[in-house]
Amino acid sequence: MKGRESNWLIFLVIASGVFLSTLDSSMVNIALPSIMKEFHSPLHKTEWVVMAYLLTTSSTLLLWGHLADRLGRSRFYTLGFLLFGLGSAGCALSGSLHMLIGARFFQALGAAMMMAHGPAIIRHTFSTARLGRSMGFIGIPVSLGLMCGPALGGMLIEFFSWRALFILSGTASFGFALLSNFILPPSPAGRTPEKRSYDWPGALLWTLLLGTASLSLTHAFSADMSWQWGVVMICCTLLAFVFFVKVEARAAEPVLPLVFLQKRFFTIGVVSALLSFLLLFFVLILIPFYLDRVLGLSAARTGLIMTTIPLAAIVAAPLAGWLSDSVGARILSTLGLALSTIGLLLLASLTPQTSPWGVAARLSFLGLGQAIFLSPNSASVLVRMGAKNSGTAAALLATARNLGMMLGVALAGLFFSFFFRQITGGVELKNYVPGLEDFFCRALRSSFLLVSVAGFAAVAISWQRPVFERERAGSDADVEE
């Protein structure tokens, strides 16, 4: 098959990978309360089911991009499906939490391969005249995955088990791997893979920095960790950061081009994205536990309530994208962050008597805020970078979003576990019993109020971006001056 039909079949394969990885990510948060119950694990260990996935994707995205330049993107996309499927099978068969976290590592390797190469394959498949249209269509599987994940995950957990989530994703992944093997061309658009140098020391230090920082945030202050080990972990993180900055400052092609951060508009956009996703994932980790432990909702109803966030985002995103061309990011992105912060403050008022609809109404502020923020913020960065640096800028924005997700997950466990132990006199969330509802809500309130400081900081930072940052087509002056 040739021509347009072949191109759209290629698009279908890429969209399937995007949908699968998005669906899986949005389902797993709903499963955390059930996983904690089955393995009787503390929150700071249970959250590593999510952390392992985010850490792996954040630290390997650039590596897969480099290897694909040498070996071809299509074969890596197919391999990504296979690894994702094998990881999903491992998750479904896990007999312990540590096995589950290890399987999530392999699952994330596959997801990172697909994330790194999907847009590039589309870019080389479609003509320039149809590229914008095809890239825009990628938003459809992303939206569908985010929207369907919580509801579908909740129903699977209620009627089967949390393992059914991974059985579903694994089965679908193996099917898509077979499909991609026949449909994706050996080398996109017949181009010879480009050979480039790679900053291996920077990549290794970046992985070490992310790993030590994640372990420090989730384990250094846990009840079963001595203060001596906590200090060692924090010192390792600081050393990794210092060495990473030194290596990147001297690298010819650094993993993270620090020179971009010298530009005010770029730094504001990246930091704002990081804080925005920090707020989002802070909520996504803790609210399912509130719905399960305090309100006693079924997994299916919990999934439906959590669907409020993507639904609100889907409604607001087109309007935000349309307004960004005329209003600009300073107003829209700041407004979005303000709405997300308001949502946090409203969630801090949750009580054992709050209705599920009351929770959904509060969550809608977060969904609206994320949608209004994201598109204008990304455009404000990419448009001023010009065509020459747009790819690197997009990668850095994606990295900032992943870092925000990781920090949100880590801080959610850190803050809530600390406050819950203090209020209950040392009780861990894994030992939660009926009668602790008020204590849970007090710990939740303190956690949301504390993280709202990051929300206020994000609003203040976003408001400092240049007023006139609207599209200046083809201008690279901001990064090449």
**Dihedral sign computed on CA atoms, order 99, 102, 107, 108:** positive
pTM for the model stands at 0.81
DSSP 267: H
Distance in angstroms (rounded) separating the CA atoms of residues 428 and 354? 23
pLDDT of residue 470: 46
pLDDT by 10s per residue, the chain, length 481: 455 556 667 777 777 777 887 788 788 888 899 999 899 888 888 888 988 888 888 777 767 766 665 555 667 778 888 899 999 999 999 999 999 999 998 898 888 877 766 656 665 665 544 544 545 555 567 667 777 888 888 889 988 899 999 999 889 888 888 887 777 766 544 444 445 566 778 778 888 887 777 777 776 666 566 666 767 777 888 888 888 888 877 877 776 776 666 777 778 888 888 899 899 989 999 999 999 999 999 888 998 998 888 888 877 877 776 676 667 678 888 898 999 999 999 999 999 999 999 999 999 999 888 888 877 777 777 666 655 555 566 667 777 787 888 888 888 988 998 899 889 888 888 888 888 999 999 999 999 999 999 999 999 998 887 765 444 444 444 444 3
Query: Which of 249, 450, 479 minimizes the C-alpha distance to 382?
Result: 479
pLDDT of residue 206: 80
pLDDT of residue 137: 57
Distance in angstroms (rounded) separating the CA atoms of residues 419 and 431? 15
Distance in angstroms (rounded) separating the CA atoms of residues 343 and 434? 27
pLDDT of residue 455: 92
266 and 276 Cβ atoms separated by less than 8 Å: no
CA 96-91-47 angle, 5° bins = 65
Location of structure tokens 């393992």 = 163
- 271 burial (CB, 10 Å; 0-12 / 13-18 / 19+) is middle
342 and 365 Cβ atoms separated by less than 8 Å: yes
pLDDT of residue 18: 76
Query: Which of 64, 72, 59, 181 minimizes the C-alpha distance to 113?
Result: 64
Query: Residues with Cβ < 8 Å from 57, sequence gap 6 or more?
Result: 108, 111, 112, 115, 402
Distance in angstroms (rounded) separating the CA atoms of residues 437 and 432? 9
Kindly state the tokens that stand for 148: 């369907």
